[in-house]
C-alpha cells in the first residue's frame, strides 16, 4: 500500500515540475529519430551478438537494454512495467496449476488488476471530469489526480493480458523462464508503440537459441530506412501544414481544410506505419520477427478491408479477445450490431481519454455495419489488382471512396472536441471549397511533391510483399543508388526538431 501511494505521488504533475526539463531531454534523446537512439542501437546490437553463446545472458541483456530504453522516458514508470510483467508471469504459472474453476478466477483477477492500472492512469481524470461536467457544473476540485500517462502503457498492458488469457485457454504453455518473459513484455523496439505481440509468436523466440542471419538483418535495415523516410520526411513535413491549419481552422477556406484533412491522413499513416517499420526492422537485427502492423491500408476497397490492414495487431487483438468471445458474427443480427459497436467503441477509447476518439470509433462502426449485416465484410481478402500493374477503374473508385471516408474519420480523431470536428467538416463545404488552398512555401513543403508520389509508387509496387520496401532491383548498384537517395532526402529534409511519434501518447 505504501509503495502504491508513493508511486501515485511520483506521477502527479505537480511532483514532476522540478524534473520536467530532464524528462523532456530524456524523451527527445531516445526517440527512434534521435541521436540518442542512433548511439544506443549499435552498442546494443554489438553486445547482444557477443553474448550469442549464452541464451540466458543474451535475454538478460535485452531486458536490461529495454528497461534502460524505457527508463530514458521516465525511470519511475519502470515500476509499473515490472509490476505488470510480474503479476502476469505469476498468474500464468498459477493458472496452469489450479483447477479449472479457480484458474478462471486467477485469469480474471489478472485482467482486472492490469485494466485497473491502465484505467487509473489513462481514464480516471477523463471520466471524473465528464461526470463533473454533467452533474456538478464542471466543478472537479479535489477529484482529479492529474497523473502523467506512462508511455506505451496501452501496448504492453494488452501484450501482457494476451499471455494470461492464452494460458487459460491452453493455447500457450506458461513459461518458467522469468527473464525471457520480462523481455517478451518489454522488448524495446515495439515497447512504446507496438506492434502488440502475442506470446504464441514472440515468447518462443526468446526461449530458443538465436543465430545472426545476415539476409534478415539487411532486410531489417532496408525496412527501417523506409520507416525513417515515412516518418521524418513524409509525416513530419505534413505535420507542419496540418498543425497550422487545425490550430486555427476557422480562418481558412474549405479547400485548405480539405487539403489539411488529406495531409493528416497521410501524416498519421506515415508516422505510425513508419514507427512499425522501424520497430519490425530493428527487431530483425536481433533475429526477432515481429508481426506486420500495416498492410497498405489506403489501397483498401472498403472499410472492412481498411480495418484488416490498419493497426493489424490491435484490431486482431480486439477480434480475438473481445469480439469472438461475445459471439462474433455467429449470433443474431441484433447481437452482431452490439458486438460490432463494442469493439469499435473500445478501439476508439483505447486511443485516448477524449470523446473524439469514442466518436471516431462510433463513426467507423456505422460505416462497418452495412458490410457485416449484408455479409460483405470479407469480400476483399485478396490483394487489389493482383497480378496487374494498375487497378481497374472500379477498384480505383472504391479505393478513393474508402480513403475519403477514412479521412473524414481522421478529422474527428485529430480534433480537440466533437464540436470542433463538426465545425471543421462543415467549414470544408461552407465556403471556398473550389478556391486555391493556402499556398505552401518551398522548400518547407516542396519535398512533398517528390515524397508523396514516391511513397505511393513504392508502396503500390510492394503491396503484395512482406513490407513496403521489400521489392528491390536485382542489380546491386541500383539498390545502393536508391538507398543513398533516400538517405540524402532524409538528411536534407528532416525537421531540425525531433518530432515525437503520434501513437506515443496512446
The residues annotated with a catalytic role in the active site are 351
Residue whose cell numbers read 526517440: 31
Upstream peptide bond of 443 is cis (omega within 30 degrees of 0)? yes
Q: Are 228 and 278 in contact (CB under 8 A)?
A: yes
| Cα angle value 15/19/21 (rounded, 5°) | 135
Residue whose cell numbers read 496512446: 506
| Cα angle value 72/76/77 (rounded, 5°) | 85
d(CA 141, CA 306): 43
d(CA 10, CA 67): 18
DSSP letter for each residue of 143-188: T---BPPPTTHHHHHHHHHHHHHHHHHTSSPPP--HHHHHHHHH-G
DSSP state of 251: G
Q: Are 220 and 467 in contact (CB under 8 A)?
A: no
d(CA 1, CA 15): 19
DSSP state of 250: G
d(CA 486, CA 258): 29
DSSP letter for each residue of 287-332: T--PPP----GGG-SSHHHHHHHSSHHHHHHHIIIIITTTTTTSS-
Residue whose cell numbers read 487509473: 120
Report the greatest alpha carbon distance in the chain. 70
Cα separations in angstroms, 332 against 222, 320, 344, 367: 47, 19, 19, 19
Nearest to 227, CA basis, from 470, 49, 407: 470
d(CA 421, CA 240): 19
Q: Are 226 and 465 in contact (CB under 8 A)?
A: no
Nine-digit cell at 61? Answer: 541483456
Nine-digit cell at 327? Answer: 459471439
Nearest to 29, CA basis, from 85, 68, 61, 72: 72
Nearest to 288, CA basis, from 222, 203, 221: 203
d(CA 334, CA 336): 5
Is the dihedral angle over the CA atoms 321, 323, 326, 329 positive or is it negative?
A: negative
Nine-digit cell at 205? Answer: 523466440
DSSP state of 466: S
Amino acid at each position: 500500500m505504501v509503495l502504491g501511494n508513493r508511486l501515485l505521488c511520483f506521477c502527479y504533475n505537480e511532483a514532476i515540475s522540478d524534473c520536467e526539463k530532464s524528462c523532456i531531454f530524456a524523451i527527445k534523446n531516445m526517440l527512434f529519430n534521435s541521436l540518442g537512439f542512433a548511439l544506443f542501437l549499435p552498442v546494443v546490437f554489438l553486445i547482444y551478438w557477443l553474448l550469442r553463446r549464452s541464451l540466458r545472458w543474451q535475454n538478460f541483456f535485452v531486458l536490461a537494454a529495454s528497461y534502460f530504453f524505457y527508463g530514458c522516458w521516465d525511470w519511475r514508470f519502470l515500476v509499473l512495467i515490472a509490476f505488470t510483467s510480474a503479476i502476469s508471469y505469476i498468474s500464468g504459472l498459477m493458472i496452469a496449476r489450479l483447477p479449472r474453476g479457480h484458474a478462471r478466477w486467477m485469469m480474471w483477477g489478472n485482467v482486472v488488476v492490469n485494466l485497473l492500472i491502465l484505467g487509473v492512469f489513462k481514464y480516471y481524470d477523463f471520466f471524473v471530469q465528464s461526470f463533473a461536467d454533467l452533474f456538478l457544473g464542471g466543478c472537479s476540485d479535489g477529484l482529479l489526480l492529474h497523473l502523467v500517462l506512462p508511455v506505451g502503457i496501452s501496448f504492453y498492458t494488452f501484450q501482457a493480458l494476451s499471455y494470461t488469457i492464452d494460458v487459460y485457454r491452453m493455447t500457450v504453455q506458461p513459461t518458467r523462464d522469468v527473464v525471457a518473459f520480462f523481455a517478451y513484455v518489454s522488448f524495446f523496439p515495439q515497447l512504446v508503440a507496438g506492434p502488440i505481440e502475442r506470446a504464441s509468436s514472440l515468447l518462443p523466440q526468446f526461449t530458443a537459441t538465436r543465430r545472426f542471419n545476415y539476409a534478415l538483418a539487411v532486410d531489417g535495415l532496408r525496412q527501417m530506412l523506409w520507416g525513417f523516410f515515412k516518418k521524418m520526411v513524409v509525416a513530419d513535413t505534413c505535420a507542419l501544414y496540418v498543425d497550422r491549419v487545425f490550430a486555427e481552422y476557422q480562418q481558412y477556406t474549405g479547400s485548405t481544410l480539405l487539403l489539411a484533412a488529406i495531409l493528416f491522413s497521410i501524416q498519421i499513416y506515415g508516422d505510425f506505419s513508419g514507427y512499425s517499420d522501424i520497430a519490425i526492422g530493428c527487431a530483425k537485427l536481433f533475429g526477432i520477427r515481429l508481426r506486420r502492423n500495416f498492410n497498405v491500408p489506403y489501397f483498401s476497397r472498403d472499410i472492412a478491408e481498411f480495418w484488416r490492414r490498419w493497426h493489424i495487431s490491435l484490431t486482431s487483438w480486439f477480434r480475438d479477445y473481445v469480439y469472438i468471445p461475445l459471439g462474433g458474427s455467429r449470433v443474431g443480427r441484433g447481437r452482431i450490431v452490439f458486438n460490432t459497436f463494442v469493439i469499435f467503441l473500445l478501439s476508439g477509447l483505447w486511443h485516448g481519454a477524449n470523446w473524439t476518439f469514442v466518436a471516431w470509433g462510433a463513426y467507423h462502426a456505422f460505416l462497418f455495419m452495412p458490410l457485416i449485416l449484408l455479409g460483405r465484410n470479407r469480400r476483399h481478402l485478396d490483394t487489389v489488382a493482383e497480378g496487374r500493374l494498375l487497378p481497374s477503374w472500379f477498384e480505383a473508385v472504391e479505393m478513393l471512396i474508402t480513403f475519403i471516408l477514412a479521412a473524414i474519420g481522421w478529422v474527428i480523431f485529430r480534433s480537440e472536441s466533437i464540436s470542433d470536428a463538426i465545425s471543421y467538416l462543415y467549414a470544408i463545404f461552407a465556403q471556398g471549397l473550389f478556391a486555391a488552398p493556402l499556398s505552401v512555401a518551398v522548400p518547407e513543403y516542396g519535398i512533398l511533391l517528390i515524397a508523396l508520389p514516391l511513397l505511393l509508387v513504392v508502396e503500390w509496387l510492394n503491396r503484395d510483399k512482406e513490407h513496403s520496401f521489400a521489392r528491390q532491383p536485382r542489380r546491386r548498384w541500383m539498390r545502393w543508388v536508391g538507398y543513398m537517395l533516400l538517405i540524402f532526402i532524409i538528411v536534407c529534409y528532416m525537421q531540425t526538431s525531433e518530432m515525437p511519434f503520434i501513437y506515443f501518447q496512446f
